[in-house]
Amino acid sequence: MYRRNITHILTPLGSVLALIIGYHLFLKPSLVARPAPTDSKPAETVEAVAPPPPPPSSRPREDEVKQVRALDQTVIPGTPHEALLEAIRDEIEKHNLPLAETKLAGLPAAVLSDGKTKPFVAILWNNLGLQLERLHGTPVAVKAFKKAADLDDSNPVILLNLAHAYWEQRDRALNQDLLTKLIGLAPDEPFPHLAMADLLQEQNQLAEAAKHLGHATDRARQDPAVQSYLASVAAKVRRTESVESIMTTRSSTHFMVKFDGAEDHGTWTTVLEILEEAYREIGQKFGHFPSKPIVVVLHTKDSFQTATGSPAWADGLYDPILGRIHLPTQGATTDTKWLTNVLRHEYVHALLHDRLGTSSSALPTWLNEGLAMQLAGDAWLELDQAMQGGVKVIPLTYLEGPWGALPAAAATLAYLEANSATHYLIERWGMARVDELLNAFKARASVATALQNKLFVSYEQFHRQWLESFEQKRT
């Protein structure tokens, strides 16, 4: 009886997110038109990606990354403002960033109207942005990249850095116009095509998205592993396109629901109502609302299995690559309670994916599933009841990665444990602290570090106290 319930989310491809690929592809462009600055030693903290890793060998070395993204600021154009610019450059090199920023912001208008100095000031802003990003993260750096691009939007590296920062932030400013411009400036780069594909698939233009994925694949030649991965994503998008092109679509404010067309109007309305309610209620508990409409695909039994590759007994799944919730319609018309649970559960996965963006893979599966179960209000047997038979718990450390390969009995136990541990977490520390944990995972912290820094307990302590809490319940 649990079987139907246990595989709400199978993420067969979830360990390798398209977003992460894009990020890494971007970081190794072949754009180094200028020599690297001499102070390019410090590692990019932003590169500390938690497991599971992106596809093989797509991760560039950190110093390599820094070199590609920084612009040469050694040769200052000979103008009356040379000394002023030199002073700012030195402050950046000495990492006196607030001072450099103040001086840059206070440059006289004459410097900015001078055609010779203006592109150099743009380079200074760009390099300041890189330093800020390294020390304080992307949100702090965006403003500097924006200044750089405002001053010189013909420099491909500057525009790539800005686009990358927007991408990291899931900022809507990374729009079709900016990407079209970037494609023109950096025609050999896979990243703008990948970002464009992402944007187009969000807008439900799957055929166009597949085309850009194809372009990205062609341009990823230097890395065969990434290239073959991109090719498989492109194929997936084309397959989805062919399945969904014959579907009917109806949208509410925050969702786009597609289905085979044979379904009645009532189901459609019910699905949208459940989702909008989940949007409000779970969003409030969470303090987060999705940055874009979420696509929900209702499949007939056959098309669900074909399109998602999931086993016959799966109830639904969230596909992080195409950002879609998939659901078989079988049962949807007759069992509203089931429908509500599955939709809410998958919605939490979608929300967490949106919340963590490129860092989604840092979130341990037990917490991802546990939050989905807790916030969806899944009616599950309590772990303490399930444990009556003397079953041994699987340590949470084993439940951080994908669960797709777990045997059915272990998967059931995994869900029960995830639910129980997350329940304990929320009850003891509250949702605000859970939110803090999510911030840590967004910064790609390990589970041990996140727990230590945000809950002030070690992973071992957390584990022991959680087990003790349900031991007490049993007695």
416 belongs to the binding site for Zn ion (CB under 5 A): no
Q: Is 259 left (phi over 0), alpha (psi -120 to 50) or beta?
A: beta
How many distinct helices (H) and strands (E) make up the chain?
Answer: 22, 5
372 belongs to the binding site for Zn ion (CB under 5 A): yes
Whichever of 145 and 415 has its CB closer to Zn ion, that residue is 415
Q: How far is CA 78 from CA 60, 84, 125, 241, 471, in A?
A: 36, 11, 19, 56, 75
Give the interface size with Zn ion as a residue count (CB under 5 A). Answer: 4
- Name the β-bridge partners of 325: 296, 318
363 belongs to the binding site for Zn ion (CB under 5 A): no
Q: CA-CA distance, 152 to 223, in Å (whole number)? A: 30
- Closest chain position to Zn ion (CB): 9
Please give the order of strands across the beta sheet that includes 255-259: 248-251, 255-259, 294-299, 324-328, 317-319
Q: Are strands 317-319 and 324-328 parallel, antiparallel or unpaired?
A: antiparallel
Find the binder of Zn ion among 5, 6, 9, 416 (CB under 5 A). Answer: 9
6 belongs to the binding site for Zn ion (CB under 5 A): no
219 belongs to the binding site for Zn ion (CB under 5 A): no
Q: CA-CA distance, 304 to 316, in Å (whole number)? A: 9
211 belongs to the binding site for Zn ion (CB under 5 A): no
Q: Cβ of residue 234: shortest distance to Zn ion, in angstroms?
A: 27
Whichever of 367 and 437 has its CB closer to Zn ion, that residue is 367
Using the rule CB under 5 A, give the single segment among 49-57, 326-334, 366-374, 403-411 that binds Zn ion. 366-374
Q: CA-CA distance, 20 to 55, in Å (whole number)? A: 9
Find the binder of Zn ion among 8, 24, 212, 344 (CB under 5 A). Answer: 8
- DSSP one-letter code for 391: P
Whichever of 117 and 308 has its CB closer to Zn ion, that residue is 308
367 belongs to the binding site for Zn ion (CB under 5 A): no
Structure tokens at 344: 């809410």
Whichever of 104 and 372 has its CB closer to Zn ion, that residue is 372
344 belongs to the binding site for Zn ion (CB under 5 A): no
CA dihedral 244, 247, 251, 257 (to 10 degrees): -70
Using the rule CB under 5 A, give the single segment among 5-13, 321-329, 453-461, 466-474 that binds Zn ion. 5-13
Using the rule CB under 5 A, give the single segment among 1-9, 335-343, 375-383, 455-463 that binds Zn ion. 1-9
Using the rule CB under 5 A, give the single segment among 155-163, 206-214, 282-290, 362-370 that binds Zn ion. 362-370
Chain contacts with Zn ion (rule: CB under 5 A): 8-9, 369, 372
